Structure 1
Amino acid sequence: MLHKTRGVVFKYFKYRDTSIIVKVFTEAFGLQTYIVNGVRSKSSRSRIALYQPLTLLDMVVYKKNATEINRISEVKCNHPFSTISTDIKKTYIAIFLAEVLYKCVKEEEEDVSDLFNFIYHSIEILDHLESGYENFHLQFLLKLSHYLGFGLESPKDHFLTMEDEDLGLLTHLVNNSYEAHVKISNSLRRTLLDHIVRFYKVHIESLKEINSLNILKEVI
């Protein structure tokens, strides 16, 4: 049976010579696994761009409850990126966040509408921000924790060893919009990120190594 849904790409894996297995977080069914045949062939190389990290899709998909891997009937990019694919800092933010999402969002999630809308609209904002997005990944993780069930509405209850000034920054980030930029030094930003990642690892058993973390720290 065919269904229309929006989706956010988390990750894809090469499969055989020209195909891929792609993990897409869908509005209708949560995290789904699809096989896409021939997408890596010479005649179809441009289509692989549809499956880059955090690409926003409109899809028509097959859904069989007894099948772990389904197929995509139709797909198009809902929001072609204007900056995420060209700004190296945004590109690595996207790669990092996609990896975290892939490891944190579970396939058995049922009511995903709030989580999906948060992720989808956050990505749109990242693409539209012209400046002041250096802290975006920090804010995203802080806000995401709420939708994953271990929210950080009051950082001081979770980061007992942090200085009051740093706790104030986290409180500002979690309670304000992405557009409400606050200036943070690169070294402090990395320290805050380490604290947030450690906090995530306490609550998400599958979040062990984050391969893109060190690269992100080098560019932002």
Structure 2
Amino acid sequence: MTHKTKGVVLRTVKYGETSVIATVYTELFGVQSYIVKGVRQATKKSQGKGNYFQPGAMLNMVVYHNELKNLQFIKEYEWSYLYNEVLFNVVKNAVAMYIVELLQHGLKQPEANPELFYLIEDTLKQLDKGTNTFTANLPLYFTLHLGSELGFHLQGSFSKATPVLDLMEGSFVQDVPMHPHYLSGEAARLTSHISNILFYNDLENIPLNRNMRRELLLAYQHFMVLHIPEFGEMRSLPILQEVLS
């Protein structure tokens, strides 16, 4: 039985002489692995097909799906959105690769989550169109909102009564906790603000210097590590920090 679904490519590895296995986050089925035949053949018909399965690519697909199998098959595919800037702009490409790697580390279960899919799809589209300030702030926004979709939304908000963000508990509290996993002061205030943003355009109004953005990116990665078992090391984070500096 075939199904029509959108998907965002997360990872691709070579398979056999001419094919690939693509890990895709799909709208209908969550994380799935697909065998895509013939995309590495040196023929005119296959030329350029490998580009469809670059990490971050957004596709419309017709797929075969069997709940009992770990590997599925793609019958048809086409672009659902074709980037204008992400593939050619160094900063935007670094942000896109950070988002994709964050998903690789964070999505441990195959279950579908349409709201998460729409967040990923919309974030990548907005990245493609965004200004420099928007682009620089987007990784912070996406990391916190991804955490919310995965079940650890920050509780409360920054105030005089709750000026400390306990990263282990995921909540704003009155006193510094007995462990080192927390944010306070300006870092806690900014995190509260970013967490409560509802519209992408509001990211334009958050002026951050290099040091604060670096501190927040490291803290948010640590937040993910605390809440996702075997999260692992983000290889794209140092690259992103270097590019944003």
Matched, 1:30 2:26: no
Task: Please say which of residues 80-89 and 210-219 is displaced more in the overlay.
Answer: 210-219
Higher RCO (C-alpha under 8 Å, 6+ residues apart): 1
Tell me if the contact between 1:8 and 1:24 (Cα under 8 Å) persists in the aligned partners.
yes
State the one-letter code of the partner of 1:186.
R
1:172 corresponds in structure 2 to 193
2:146 corresponds in structure 1 to 144
Matched, 1:162 2:154: no
For 1:126, what is the secondary structure of its paired residue? Answer: helix
State the one-letter code of the partner of 2:129.
H
* Structure 1 portions without partners, runs of 5+: none
What is the CA-CA distance between 1:144 and the residue it aligns to? 1.0
- Give me the CA root mean square deviation: 1.6
| Aligned partner (choices 188, 191, 210) of residue 186 of structure 1 | 210
TM-score (norm 1): 0.93
What is the CA-CA distance between 1:153 and the residue it aligns to? 4.7
Task: State how 1:38-77 maps to structure 2 within 5 Å.
Answer: 38-43=38-43, 44-77=46-79
Whole-angstrom distance in 1 between the partners of 2:229 and 2:47: 36
What is the CA-CA distance between 1:15 and the residue it aligns to? 1.8
Tell me if the contact between 2:165 and 2:188 (Cα under 8 Å) persists in the aligned partners.
no
Whole-angstrom distance in 2 between the partners of 1:109 and 1:99: 18
Whole-angstrom distance in 1 between the partners of 2:155 and 2:12: 33
What is the CA-CA distance between 1:107 and the residue it aligns to? 3.2
| Aligned partner (choices 204, 210, 218) of residue 228 of structure 2 | 204
For 1:32, what is the secondary structure of its paired residue? Answer: strand
Identity of aligned residues (%): 33
Task: Please say which of residues 53-62 and 178-187 is displaced more in the overlay.
Answer: 178-187
Q: Which structure is larger by alpha-carbon Rg, 1 or 2?
A: 2
Whole-angstrom distance in 1 between the partners of 2:156 and 2:86: 31
State the one-letter code of the partner of 2:37.
N
Tell me if the contact between 1:143 and 1:174 (Cα under 8 Å) persists in the aligned partners.
yes
For 2:241, what is the secondary structure of its paired residue? Answer: helix
For 1:145, what is the secondary structure of its paired residue? Answer: helix
2:123 corresponds in structure 1 to 122
Matched, 1:16 2:37: no
Whole-angstrom distance in 1 between the partners of 2:109 and 2:76: 22
